[in-house]
Copies of this chain bind each other. A is one copy, B any other.
């Protein structure tokens, strides 16, 4: 097991990364009160819930559970309210802990609920997908979707501890493993060319579920994100780089309707679009663009999106949270392995990129 510390002053917290980790031993020191609400989904309920309930009860905790439907389309106000209902029906107080046992959707919703319930209670994350292990474990972004935009309502909420267990990835569908690899590839593209080479070398092992390789990829991704977040917790500057591929990707997700494409799949195609625009602006070479497409394809991820009318695509992009004073900003690649956020891009070239990266 490796331990990574996210350095956020008095909200510093550890991420435990390994295989077959023991929640009882690792989480106990981080549960402050006597009450724990485990938030999970119907799929994970069958796989892990009774095990966690048993472990925490054996620590003398009062454990309640809230099981939500599985999927991004349920990441809304209505289901968030089910967590509040469960907390209040259990009679839980300000010293309770909300434990998210699940992927990004569960982490985002449980985290947001913990930020709002009684204006803030304790939060623990056990991310069970590769995507949530490399993305949601660090940074404290929580929230829900709105019919007019993704993640439009939320809070910054740091957990007390995160436990990322590679053994839980054994039950993860292959498509979701690939979606997680999209975010892993993102860290390489935006800031670590050496990591890109490592991924090119080990992609087959990662896809085969080698837990030692996966743990290394998770550690390296989290370490990257932790460094960036420690510098810029509230996304005033550098943190926006983590949105490489996301402005295009969110537009794809919003148009298709949440849940049709996985978030990682949309980000994968979004990164191809960002790289393509960077190439058209003369920042990266055609070879760099091809290398970007190759690693994404090798991870079994899409490099083009379905047909989307240009005006609708642009309209969804305009809802992006990086819009400042009405002006869209994009994360592009200055070089391969070095991202920048900029409003100085060519809008016509951006439109070409959108049109020319759509599948027939």
A295 partner residues in chain B, CB cutoff 8 A:
none
A143 CA to B115 CA, complexed, in Å: 12
A288 to B151, CA, bound (A): 53
Contact: A319 with B91, CB < 8 Å?
Answer: yes
As a 0/1 sequence over residues 308 to 322 of chain A, the CB contacts with chain B under 8 angstroms (1 = contact) are: 000000000011011
Q: A81-B77, A148-B89, A326-B93 are in contact. Are A155 and B321 (CB under 8 A)?
A: no
Q: A294 at the A/B interface (Cβ < 8 Å)?
A: no
Which residues of the other chain, B, contact A155 by a CB distance below 8 angstroms? 115-116, 119-120, 155
Do residues B94 and A321 form an inter-chain contact, with CB atoms below 8 A? Answer: yes
**Given A34-B326, A148-B89, A325-B33, A153 and B84 contact (CB-CB distance below 8 Å):** yes
- A318–B146 alpha-carbon span in the complex (Å): 34
Q: Which residues of B contact A122 (CB under 8 A)?
A: none
**CA A319 to CA B117, docked complex, whole Å:** 12
Given A34-B326, A155-B155: A318 touches B119 (CB 8 Å cut-off): no
- Interface set, chain A 151-188, CB cutoff 8 A to B: 152-156
| Contact, CB under 8 Å: A34 / B154 | no
Chain B residue with minimal CB distance to A117? Answer: B153
Across-interface contacts of A115 in B (CB, < 8 A): 155
Decide yes or no whether A290 CB sits under 8 A from chain B.
Answer: no
B117 touches A152 (CB 8 A): yes
User: Considering only CB atoms, which chain B residue lies closest to A115 in the complex?
Assistant: B155
CB of A324 within 8 Å of the partner chain: yes
Given A117-B153, A153-B116, verify A91-B146 contact (CB < 8 Å): no
* A94: B residues at CB distance < 8 A: 321-324
The residue of chain B having its C-beta at the shortest distance from the C-beta of A322 within the complex is: B94
The answer to whether A149 touches B116, judged by C-beta atoms less than 8 angstroms apart, is no
Does A95 make an interface contact (CB < 8 A)? yes
- Residue A59 at the chain B interface, CB threshold 8 Å: no
B contact residues around A293 at 8 Å (CB): none
A43 to chain B, nearest CB (A): 26
Closest 8 CB pairs of A and B: A88-B148, A93-B323, A119-B154, A116-B153, A118-B321, A94-B321, A84-B153, A119-B156
